[in-house]
A and B are shown apart, each in its own frame.
Chain A
Amino acid sequence: KAGVTQTPRYLIKTRGQQVTLSCSPISGHRSVSWYQQTPGQGLQFLFEYFSETQRNKGNFPGRFSGRQFSNSRSEMNVSTLELGDSALYLCASTPGEGLNTQYFGPGTRLTVL
């Protein structure tokens, strides 16, 4: 099976812009989780989507949002970008039910100038 894919791999934006990141889970997986990784804060959970519904949410401002489509692909959107949003954004997928292991994609490196 193909692994989790994320596009784009690298992105450069300026403050105030918005950005959309995409994640395609492993075939058959229905849950997608998003994480932000920064040198200062480490790996932090953003949110999880399962069957097109947000199932879990981390402690991030409302500028961070996501959605999931019927084919389980997920997008994450960040509006009004700030310098502090520069990070590696990782998504992970699981089958969604029962005992699950999260499988991670390679990440999208976002740089905000």
Chain B
Amino acid sequence: AQSVTQLDSQVPVFEEAPVELRCNYSSSVSVYLFWYVQYPNQGLQLLLKYLSGSTLVKGINGFEAEFNKSQTSFHLRKPSVHISDTAEYFCAVSDAFNTGKLIFGQGTTLQVKP
């Protein structure tokens, strides 16, 4: 069985500061990893994904994440956040045989303060 742990439920940060949202996963098979963002009263928007290849993945809105197989982590980073980045962020995993089934972490609320 797979599981995802997002280590911080809330992350407050000042505007223009860097941020890291942490995600660890467990799985007995090869996985695909995703980060989604959810703004209030909206669905989920894909930020970035890791399927294979380079372990550093770049996404939309200046976000990037690094896949670390030995530490089973997929942390999300942004060098300088904006007020508009305030939202809930979800890390998710699927295996190669069940890409229609995502297992999500509990989410991290990013609060960007002016």
**Chain A interface residues toward B at CB < 8 A:** 4, 31, 33, 35, 42-45, 48, 50, 55-56, 58, 90, 92, 94, 96, 99-107
B43 touches A94 (CB 8 A): no
**Could you mark each residue 44-59 of chain B with 1 if its beta carbon is under 8 Å from any beta carbon of chain A, else 0?**
1110010100000000
- In the complex, the answer to whether A102 meets B43 with C-beta atoms within 8 Å is no
16 contacts between A and B (CB under 8 A): A33-B102, A35-B104, A42-B105, A43-B102, A43-B104, A43-B107, A44-B104, A45-B101, A48-B100, A50-B100, A56-B101, A101-B46, A102-B46, A102-B102, A103-B46, A107-B42
Is B34's CB within 8 Å of the partner chain A? yes
> Does B90 belong to the interface (CB within 8 Å)?
yes
> Contact residues of B with A, CB < 8 Å?
32, 34, 36, 42-46, 49, 51, 90, 92, 98-107
B102 x A99 contact (CB < 8 A): no
Give A55 Cβ to nearest chain B Cβ, in Å. Answer: 6
A99 near B51: Cβ-Cβ < 8 Å = yes
Do most interface residues of chain A lie in helix, strand or loop, or is the interface mixed? strand
Report how far A92 CA is from B49 CA in the complex, Å: 16
**Cβ-closest chain B residue relative to A107:** B43
Q: Which of B32, B44, B100 contacts A96 (CB 8 A)?
A: B100
Q: Which residues of B contact A31 (CB under 8 A)?
A: 100
B43 touches which of A33, A44, A90 (Cβ 8 Å): A90
